[in-house]
Amino acid sequence: MTGARAAVVGGSIAGCAAALALHRAGAQRITVYEQAHEDLARRGVGVGVHNKRHTELRTAGYLGTSTPWLQLSRRTWFVRDATCPDPMGRSVATDAFPFRMYHWGRLWRELREQVPDTVTFRTGARITGVHAQEREAVLHTKTSSHAFDLVVGADGHRSVVRAAAFPRTQLLSAGYLAWRGVLRADRMPRARRWPADTCAYVVFREGHLFACRVPGPPGSDGPQINWVLYSANQSAGTGHAPGEVLAERGACQEAAEETADALLPPFWAELVHLTEPRDFLVQPIGDLLTPSYVQGRLVLIGDAAACARPHVAAGAVKALQDAAVLERALGAAGNRPWHEALQHYNTARTGNGNAVIALGRRFGETLVTEAPDWASHPGPSPAACWQQCDPAGEFGGLRLPA
Ligand SMILES: Cc1cc2nc3c(=O)[nH]c(=O)nc-3n(C[C@H](O)[C@H](O)[C@H](O)COP(=O)(O)OP(=O)(O)OC[C@H]3O[C@@H](n4cnc5c(N)ncnc54)[C@H](O)[C@@H]3O)c2cc1C
């Protein structure tokens, strides 16, 4: 890779990790193009990393230990039950939940700081077109064009690199939305009785709420409460493309509040009501599968390559694993042609991407589209159904082979 000109499109989690992977594999002329002008660390909320995946990624050099995190160890499953006096609802199961919760912006910053100064990191640089030819790949911005030997598409689920490689691939709608929100934990004094190491899954017919504490953004002190409310019962916002995170206020927040009041125990509904409009988002849910992670000189990584429903809690982990495997494949190639190394990367990662997407669909069916009224459901508990969806324990991402 020494003399190769390599570009990375996108400077988020996958983009920073890809730049690091190329550098470690020996590339010396690396340029990252990130369309955002501002510091990405100011954005994002909570991101979970399974303890086992964290250990593997730390060993591989893609996660450190300096970013603050909150350790979760348990999950409690709740249902709303009119006969239960507890405002949190009736607890129907508890199981292990070994996840580190990070603030997305802090995790991104740790990774960004690892990217060496020899990498040219261009912000406010949107790639408007990609033309791959036999001898080089050309990236176009609004004002200029640049040729590279290798282009890594780390530009998320609406990737322009993927559009050039596989024009017909697109996100498929799951037919439901998630409402997301975050609030400072001290805005809800009665949350003190909710153990800090425990997350909640509050389940109801055709949907559920996930809630946990996460560290606050850079420069803040005190934790935040992060919640995600999935429901197949709503229609607000369905005109939007799946995967798109929308900062929608007004009607969407009212719909979320109505759903929360109708279906959640009062403690959890209060989270939705206490969320400020600026901290409220709507996300249409979908799946994205690509036929391959590699097409000639174009390589896909992170959400650009495969994007699973957020139930799997593996987006950031998968992006970092993709980078670690790309580094190994390119590093092992030595002086051999890259296309062989890229095929190793493709073979290793497509199976992984397909598995997390399939798992996301199973969770989506079990906990959203086909979810019964768990409070009166005579069958297995939601925790048991969860186990049936995930017999191999792939929640939070598959194992990164040593
Ligand atoms: C600002 C931000 C905040 C996020 N917050 C959270 C969060 O709180 N919790 C969570 O679980 N996930 C969050 N995500 C999503 C999460 O990062 C991804 O699902 C996962 O980590 C995979 O990352 P990725 O780098 O593949 O994709 P993404 O994180 O989506 O990054 C894609 C990057 O490519 C850039 N880009 C796209 N098109 C172009 C183009 N044409 N030219 C140049 N650059 C381009 C985008 O600006 C973006 O920075 C966030 C993503 C972003 C961008």
Ligand 1 centroid, distance to 15 Cα (angstroms): 9
Atom index in ligand 1 nearest the CA of residue 128 equals 41
Residue 53 lies in a domain: no
Residues in the chain: 402
Residue 38's CB: how many other CB atoms inside 10 A? 9
**Does 184 share its domain with 221?**
yes
The per-residue pLDDT for 338 is 83
Residue 381 lies in a domain: yes
- The tens digit of pLDDT for each residue in 111-154 reads 999 999 999 999 999 999 999 998 999 999 999 999 999 999 99
Tell me the pLDDT of the chain averaged across its residues: 93
The radius of gyration of the chain from alpha carbons, rounded to an integer in Å, stands at 21
ipTM for this prediction: 0.96
Residue 394 lies in a domain: no
The C-alpha atoms of residue 226 and residue 156 are separated, in whole angstroms, by 22
**Does 83 share its domain with 222?**
yes
Residue 100 in tokens: 């580190």
**Does 248 share its domain with 384?**
yes
CB 225 near ligand 1, within 6 Å: no
- The tens digit of pLDDT for each residue in 2-33 reads 788 999 999 999 999 999 999 999 999 999 99
**Does 233 share its domain with 150?**
no
- The tens digit of pLDDT for each residue in 345-400 reads 999 999 999 999 999 999 999 999 999 999 998 889 999 999 999 999 999 999 99
**Does 280 share its domain with 252?**
yes
Range of the domain at 249: 69-103+173-286+371-389
Ligand 1 centroid, distance to 38 Cα (angstroms): 13
**Does 230 share its domain with 341?**
no
Residue 63 lies in a domain: no
318 pLDDT above the threshold of 90 = yes
Residue 50 lies in a domain: no
The per-residue pLDDT for 336 is 80
CA distances from 154 to 3, 127, 137, 249, 367 (A): 22, 12, 15, 29, 30
Asked if residue 331 lies in contact with residue 24, where contact means CB atoms within 8 angstroms, the answer is yes
- The tens digit of pLDDT for each residue in 158-175 reads 999 999 999 999 889 999
**Does 339 share its domain with 237?**
no
What is the CATH number for 313?
Answer: 3.50.50.60
Atom index in ligand 1 nearest the CA of residue 45 equals 8
**Does 126 share its domain with 87?**
no
Q: Whose CA is nearest to atom 49 of ligand 1?
A: 12
Work out the burial of residue 62: count CB atoms within 10 Å of its CB; fewer than 13 is exposed, 13-18 middle, 19 or more buried. Answer: buried
The per-residue pLDDT for 241 is 56
CB 89 near ligand 1, within 6 Å: no
- The tens digit of pLDDT for each residue in 169-218 reads 988 999 999 999 999 999 998 888 999 999 999 999 999 999 999 999 98
pLDDT category at 78 given cuts 50, 70, 90 is very high
Asked if residue 298 lies in contact with residue 165, where contact means CB atoms within 8 angstroms, the answer is yes
**Does 261 share its domain with 179?**
yes
Residue 52 lies in a domain: no
Ligand 1 centroid, distance to 12 Cα (angstroms): 5
Atom index in ligand 1 nearest the CA of residue 13 equals 25
First to last CA, the chain: 23
Residue 58 lies in a domain: no
The per-residue pLDDT for 248 is 54
pLDDT category at 234 given cuts 50, 70, 90 is low
**Does 95 share its domain with 211?**
yes
What is the CATH number for 187?
Answer: 3.30.9.60
Residue 398 lies in a domain: no
Atom index in ligand 1 nearest the CA of residue 304 equals 26
235 pLDDT above the threshold of 60 = no
CB 307 near ligand 1, within 6 Å: no
**Does 336 share its domain with 220?**
no
pLDDT category at 244 given cuts 50, 70, 90 is low
Total structural domains within the chain: 2
The per-residue pLDDT for 390 is 97
**Does 148 share its domain with 277?**
no
Task: Evaluate the CA torsion angle 56, 324, 166, 333 in order and state its sign.
Answer: negative
CB 14 near ligand 1, within 6 Å: yes
